[in-house]
């Protein structure tokens, strides 16, 4: 008989309250500035799912089981810094695609100097992390040979390591690219296959000692959008990420070094993507920092008809949706616009916590 699986999703995000809390709340990832009023407790066993909502006050009263309390403990635990970057507020990862065929910006930054200039511009706009990738993993894309991928990304990483204070992330599925990129100065590994594509990747990542982004994807880029299906997309993605976290821990990569990404657009339909975006807070139960990469994704086009380069409004909407659910890292193409939107959102949230008198405009 299969065991009961427990999930806890923080609900009803509240504005932070200055001074002592008068009402019990759920704190996500140690952030008192992002309280929630309740949780949804979900139990799944033998294909059956039971859901109930529990107010924060009831949780303090000891009315929930030990397994639920264990998930709540993971939800509330502060997240470890990522390559020296504190995760007590939203951080931006700027996309640097050194490719000819990425879905929205393939080609312009294929040349080394163009990629470096673009990366430095993203840092100036407010990127905390620069994600350098040399292989497109868009739907129906084909793999790139090792030496070609290295030839694209390594000179860019080596140059940026000397010229930027931003952390450098290597976006790759290949163990050897991870190894060489780290030697050139990469600080973070971002693998869309969650260290499953290359049999050596998990051992190499463990040895390098760098933070690792584990992204969920159903299937290979060449086939993942053919007919994606799930019993329950949110719980299935959660279970898959938990399995990868446990595999990493067995390989010697501690949970504190792992960052999870639900993989918007990777083996998901429009409805799958929207469901995940509406329930992102559940993934805090994994006890890892969370990244969201929804910038310019095709689901925005499916909803609005906009082409990839015209999806900035939809991208900002998803970024704010993620920020409101406690996502620590947003992977975006349009850093300046996203930073501005976050500044307004964060400013309004901070102001609402004090409810002070009139101020200057």
Domains in the chain, ordered, with CATH?
A: 5-76 (no CATH), 91-347 (3.20.20.20)
Q: What is the rounded average pLDDT of the residues 169-197? A: 98
Give the pLDDT band (50/70/90) at residue 287.
very high
pLDDT tens readout for residues 306-346: 999 999 999 999 999 999 999 999 999 999 999 999 999 99
Map tokens 């299906």 to a residue.
229
Q: Is-contact 100 107, C-beta < 8 A?
A: yes
**H helical segments located in 226-334:** 233-251, 270-278, 298-304, 312-324
The Cα 2–Cα 298 span in angstroms is 37
Give the pLDDT band (50/70/90) at residue 84.
very high
pLDDT tens readout for residues 117-163: 999 999 999 999 999 999 988 676 678 999 999 999 999 999 999 99
Report whether pLDDT(273) > 80.
Answer: yes
pLDDT tens readout for residues 20-65: 556 789 999 999 888 999 999 999 999 899 999 999 988 876 678 8
> Looking at residue 227, what is its pLDDT?
80
- The DSSP H or E segment spanning 112 is helix 112-125
pLDDT > 70: what percent of the chain?
92
The encoded tokens of residue 59 equal: 């949780």
45 classed as catalytic: no
Tell which phi-psi region holds residue 336, choosing left (phi > 0), alpha (psi between -120 and 50) or beta.
alpha
The Cα 72–Cα 59 span in angstroms is 9
Catalytic residue among 174, 296, 297, 339: 297
**CA distances (Å), 216 to each of 57, 113, 117, 224, 317, in order?**
34, 32, 30, 11, 22
331 classed as catalytic: yes
Catalytic residue among 44, 91, 244, 331: 331
Classify residue 39 by burial, with Cβ atoms within 10 Å: 0-12, 13-18, 19+: buried
């Amino acid at each position: 008989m299969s065991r009961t699986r427990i999930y806890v999703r923080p609900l009803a995000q509240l504005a932070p309250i200055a001074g002592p809390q008068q009402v019990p709340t759920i704190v996500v990832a140690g952030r008192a500035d992002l309280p929630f009023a309740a949780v949804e407790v979900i139990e799944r066993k033998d294909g059956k799912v039971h859901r109930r909502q529990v107010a924060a006050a009831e949780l303090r009263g000891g009315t929930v089981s030990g397994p639920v309390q264990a998930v709540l403990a993971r939800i509330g635990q502060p997240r470890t810094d990522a390559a020296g970057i504190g995760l007590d507020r939203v951080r931006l990862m700027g996309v640097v695609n050194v490719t000819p065929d990425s879905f929205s910006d393939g080609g312009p930054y294929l040349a080394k100097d163009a990629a470096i200039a673009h990366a430095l511009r993203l840092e100036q706009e407010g990127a905390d992390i620069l994600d350098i990738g040399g292989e497109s993993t868009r739907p129906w894309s084909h793999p790139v040979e090792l030496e070609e991928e290295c030839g694209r990304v390594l000179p860019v990483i080596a140059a940026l390591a000397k010229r930027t204070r931003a952390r450098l992330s290597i976006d790759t599925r290949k163990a050897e690219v991870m190894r060489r990129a780290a030697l050139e100065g990469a600080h973070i590994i971002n693998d869309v296959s969650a260290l499953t594509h290359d049999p050596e990747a998990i051992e190499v990542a463990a040895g390098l000692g760098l933070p690792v982004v584990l992204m969920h994807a159903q299937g290979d880029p060449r086939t993942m959008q053919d007919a994606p299906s799930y019993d329950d997309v949110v719980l299935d993605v959660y279970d898959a990420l938990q399995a990868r976290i446990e595999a990493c821990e067995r390989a010697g990569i501690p949970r504190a070094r792992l960052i999870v990404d639900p993989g918007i657009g990777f083996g998901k339909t429009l409805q799958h993507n929207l469901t995940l975006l509406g329930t992102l807070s559940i993934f805090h139960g994994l006890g890892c920092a969370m990244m969201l990469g929804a910038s310019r994704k095709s689901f925005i086009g499916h909803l609005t008809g906009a082409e990839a380069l015209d999806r900035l409004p939809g991208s900002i909407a998803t970024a704010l949706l993620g920020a409101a659910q406690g996502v620590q890292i947003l992977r975006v193409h349009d850093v300046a616009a996203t930073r501005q939107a976050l500044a307004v959102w964060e400013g309004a949230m901070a102001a609402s916590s004090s409810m002070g008198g009139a101020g200057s405009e």
